[in-house]
Amino acid sequence: MSAARRTKSLSVNVLTSRRQSAIHGAMSSNPKRATVYFDPELHRALRVKAAETERSMSDLVNEAVQLSLAEDAEDLAAFEDRVNEPNLPYEDVVNDLKRRGKI
């Protein structure tokens, strides 16, 4: 690794550390640590996005997880809303679509 790249890497690490301190200092509860293993390409993309948006990788991952869990909660609510709807056998649906010329 070149000296310039090491210096840039060190700078990014220091900035990330400062951002994390600022973010975690502003949180109302103590953050919990977790080890997450990323695909190398995904990790690189996450690092780049964090640098470009001046947000920590932790902040980006937290936001992504929160959005995913919120989407899951919406899906579960939709299932609960439709619990009284009749179940249709798959074959009946396919046959109806064929009869109407949709497939």
What would the pLDDT profile of 59-68 be if each residue is shown by its tens digit?
999 999 999 9
Residue 24 and residue 67: Cα distance in Å, rounded?
A: 19
Q: Would 40 be classed as within a structural domain?
A: yes
Query: Mind listing the pLDDT tens digit for each residue in 14-37?
Result: 444 545 555 445 455 899 999 999
pLDDT at 57 over 60: yes
Candidate from 11-25, 47-61, 66-80 with smallest mean pLDDT: 11-25
The pLDDT, as a whole number, for residue 29 is 82
Residue 41: its pLDDT value, please? 98
* Residue 48 belongs to domain spanning: 3-28+36-85
Burial readout 49-87 (b: 16 or more C-beta within 10 A, e: otherwise): ebeeeebbbbbeeeeeeeeeeeeeeeeeeeeeeeeeeee
- On whether residue 99 sits in a domain, the answer given is no
Per-residue DSSP letter, 85: S
Whether residue 82 is predicted with pLDDT greater than 50 in this model: the reply is yes
How much is the pLDDT for 32? 93
Question: Does residue 93 form part of some domain?
Answer: no
Residue 90 belongs to some domain of the structure: no
Count: domains in the chain = 1
Computed over every residue of the chain, the mean pLDDT equals: 83
Instruction: Look at residue 19 and tell me if it is in a domain.
Output: yes
Q: Is the pLDDT of residue 2 over 70?
A: no
67 belongs to a structural domain: yes
